[in-house]
Structure 1
Amino acid sequence: MELREYLRVIRRRWLTVLSTTSILVAVVAGFTLAATPQYQSVAQLFVTTQTSDTASDLNQGGLFSAQRVTSYADLVDGRELAKTVAYDLGLDLAPNELSAKVRASAVTDTVNLEITATDAEPLRAQAIAQAYAESLVDLVRQLETPPGKSRAPVKATIVDPADLPSDPVSPRPARNIGLGLVFGLVLGAGLAVLRELLDVTIKSPDDITTATNAPVLGGITFDAATRQHPLVTSLEPHAPRVEAFRVLRTNLQFVEVDSANKVFVVTSAVPEEGKSTTSVNLALTMAQAGHRTLLIEGDLRRPKATAQLGLDHAVGVTTVLLGKVSLDDAIQKVTDSDLDVLASGTIPPNPAELLQSNAMADLLKQIRDRYDMVIIDAPPLLPVTDAALIASQADGALLVVRYGKTTKDQLSQAVDRLQQVDAHPVGVVLNMVPNKRRASGYGYGYGYGYGYAPEQPAP
């Protein structure tokens, strides 16, 4: 992936980045607010060695003091010193608990020693640091005084008594939240890229080409109002969704251009991809263009097309195949449209047998001679074989693929189902495509998410 692709992924999955960052910042802020403020007090000691005034002795004394400073810093961590300080201050703390509050460090290239005490109470932090400094001075004098002598050649002196801290050293809200924000953005971007790499759903024409050579004939943008208004006839003439189906109609007319009569199956790999709504709106759009169009409800298991058109599916394909009614009597007219509809009829117990019967082949032959365009709404390909059986008798199949839901493997299997019966996909319709802004560069042509209505005259 190049930098531009990373930025495109982050832009498309900005919700992942934002939610991850928000959660991490919230967690950091929660811990920061819940944490008990800690105060630090520092006392500084100066270590000297008694020497003569000669330059060599002074130099050796300085080196000796520097070595001693490191040793004294280790003594601060000892249990004995902690016991002494706890006793002097009357603290009800174990030696290891008190030692955890104190640290000593030798200042680089000096003979200075800093003792730092940390506690939730500033006065106690000051008292602990000062008590440690005074106790260390006494301990150094005891350890460094030779037997039989009254003075030690090495002396530790408190040069800066422990101060009273006014501001806590932790927590630091601004720093913690800033770090949480930075790490949240990095983690969110990483999760977004990881999700993109693990995502096997179809989101672009390039994803489709991995499964089939059939062209992308159109892309239908996602519209939250589709459930309430599924038909393009209920929308404004220049609405983006209407324009998208016009583009699909135009592209479909260039398929099988040598055939005067065209029969196409509209199907999908799995359910809930919008194939029935696509079939109905494509048929309506064809009829609006003046083509003699018939919509056949070929889904004999879960018929939905007629319900969207407000028609009854009790009489239709099955009743015609069984010879109970004639084709003319079974065909219904859509109100305010030139579209003819052949409903599914009574749901049979053996849909597959009916669809591959000679009666079905004769019915399609009869229909070819009467219509310019025949759209068959068929079941999905992977759960049942009905769509493949119908497609083998048609001029091809139009595959509806739902953006971000249909996987590449599902599309490949659907194409294989068609090829097994010598049928072929004539094109793919990418359905429920996010608008241009949300898709972050994955637009699919003219009218997919953009309106181009005539300008209204000035009042």
Structure 2
Amino acid sequence: MSATPEATVRRTGSATSQVVHDRSIGDIIASTRNLTAEQVERIAEHQRKTGVRFGEAAVALGFANADDVLFALAQQFHYPYAAEAQRDASPELVTLNQPFSYQAEAFRAVRPQIMMRIFGEGRKERRALAVISPAAGDGKTYFAANLAVVLAQLGGRTLLVDADLRNARQHAVFNIPNDAGLSGLLAGRVESNVIKQIQNVPNLFLLPAGATPPNPLELVERPAFDLLIKELTSKFDHVVVDTPATQYGADGEVIATRCGGAVIVARKDASKVQALQELVASLADLDATLAGVVVNEY
């Protein structure tokens, strides 16, 4: 392999270190809304007269809205939260676009279960988590992306790997280029860094799938993929791997074995019980811990 996983990750880590500076809510709102000095003074005057906070005063005067206040609070507490103007580009990222919604709470409810069963401390070997599903459209890409966000919101370095070399979508979800990625890395065709840091989420990184190869199953069956997963789990606190639907082949099961952990995503009113039973049974025969089955209503 011309570009080793170790070199790839090391370059990424050194290039993405950031220093976060504390800012007041007023400063963040003023910057977000491009408020003039005169507008800021009017807000401050209203604040002095009424005794409310700066954000409430800005909303009362029509210079900001409730979403601006939530965004400012999230920035102040270093909590990843997409600005309003950025949400149309990635509507599926509910945990980043709407972190206080019931959908985001559902992902946060799943997170501790995943942490205990897959990423818990005290294990002899660190594991990655393969997200698999029986059929296309079950929502595994949606689940993997949002799970990666809530894991990163804990503070640990989190890597999302798009190993769906048949129908890759994570690059579109996060709105990043897909000119180079996992397929090129496994084929020894990538020389430069292929891991990208996600904007506004300091602890989240994405390894996109790259060009669609003619031999996706063979690439993940090769020793190079196993070595890559081991290297990535040593460099990141959490590694989440998106996979092709098992209706297309054995890719998902192979990837789950390499990762050491898996979660199955089913879709409400769509997934077939027999297909789920067969997938659970096949994973029981593999060297992978099944964290559970998640029913997706998205």
TM-score normalised over the length of structure 1:
0.43
Give, in whole Å, the separation in 1 of the partners of 2:172 and 2:135: 20
**Structure 1 equivalent of residue 196 of structure 2:** 332
**Structure 1 equivalent of residue 187 of structure 2:** 322
Give the letter for the 1:255 counterpart. R
Q: 1:415 to 1:289 in 2, by over 3 A?
A: same
Give, in whole Å, the separation in 2 of the partners of 1:380 and 1:325: 26
Deviation at 1:423, TM superposition (A): 3.3
**Structure 2 equivalent of residue 190 of structure 1:** none
Identity of aligned residues (%): 31
Q: 1:320 to 1:283 in 2, by over 3 A?
A: same
- Structure 2: stretches of 5+ with no match in the other structure: 1-86
Q: 1:355 to 1:319 in 2, by over 3 A?
A: same
Query: Partner of 2:235: helix, strand, or coil?
Result: coil
2:129–2:263 contact (8 Å) kept in structure 1 = yes
Deviation at 1:227, TM superposition (A): 11
Give, in whole Å, the separation in 1 of the partners of 2:116 and 2:175: 31
2:127–2:261 contact (8 Å) kept in structure 1 = no
Give the letter for the 2:282 counterpart. R
**Structure 1 equivalent of residue 115 of structure 2:** 253
**Structure 1 equivalent of residue 225 of structure 2:** 360
1:261–1:371 contact (8 Å) kept in structure 2 = no
Give the letter for the 1:352 counterpart. L
In our comparison, the structure showing a higher alpha carbon Rg is: 1
Q: 1:295 to 1:378 in 2, by over 3 A?
A: same
Aligned pair partner of 1:409 in 274, 279, 295: 274
Give, in whole Å, the separation in 1 of the partners of 2:229 and 2:90: 33
Aligned residues: 208
Q: Which has the higher contact order (CA 8 A, sep 6+)?
A: 2
1:267–1:378 contact (8 Å) kept in structure 2 = yes
**Structure 2 equivalent of residue 391 of structure 1:** 256
Aligned pair partner of 1:238 in 100, 103, 107: 100
The CA RMSD over aligned residues, in Å, is 2.2
Mapping 1:118-157, distance limit 5 Å? none
Give, in whole Å, the separation in 2 of the partners of 1:291 and 1:355: 26
Give the letter for the 2:227 counterpart. D
Give, in whole Å, the separation in 1 of the partners of 2:289 and 2:270: 22
Give, in whole Å, the separation in 2 of the partners of 1:291 and 1:316: 23
Does 2:294 align with 1:294? Answer: no
Give, in whole Å, the separation in 2 of the partners of 1:324 and 1:380: 26
Give, in whole Å, the separation in 1 of the partners of 2:197 and 2:149: 12
Deviation at 1:275, TM superposition (A): 0.4
2:181–2:209 contact (8 Å) kept in structure 1 = yes
**Structure 2 equivalent of residue 419 of structure 1:** 284
Give, in whole Å, the separation in 2 of the partners of 1:246 and 1:406: 23
Give, in whole Å, the separation in 2 of the partners of 1:266 and 1:227: 23
Give, in whole Å, the separation in 1 of the partners of 2:264 and 2:89: 21
Give, in whole Å, the separation in 2 of the partners of 1:413 and 1:342: 30
2:135–2:245 contact (8 Å) kept in structure 1 = yes
**Structure 1 equivalent of residue 128 of structure 2:** 263
Query: Partner of 2:293: helix, strand, or coil?
Result: strand
Give the letter for the 1:240 counterpart. Y
Mapping 1:104-253, distance limit 5 Å? 229-253=91-115
1:262–1:368 contact (8 Å) kept in structure 2 = yes
TM-score normalised over the length of structure 2:
0.65
Mapping 1:46-125, distance limit 5 Å? none
- Structure 1: stretches of 5+ with no match in the other structure: 1-224, 434-459
* Worse overlay, 292-301 or 308-317: 308-317
Aligned pair partner of 2:238 in 369, 373, 387: 373
Deviation at 1:420, TM superposition (A): 4.4
Query: Partner of 1:429: helix, strand, or coil?
Result: strand
Give, in whole Å, the separation in 1 of the partners of 2:126 and 2:283: 21
Give, in whole Å, the separation in 1 of the partners of 2:175 and 2:102: 24
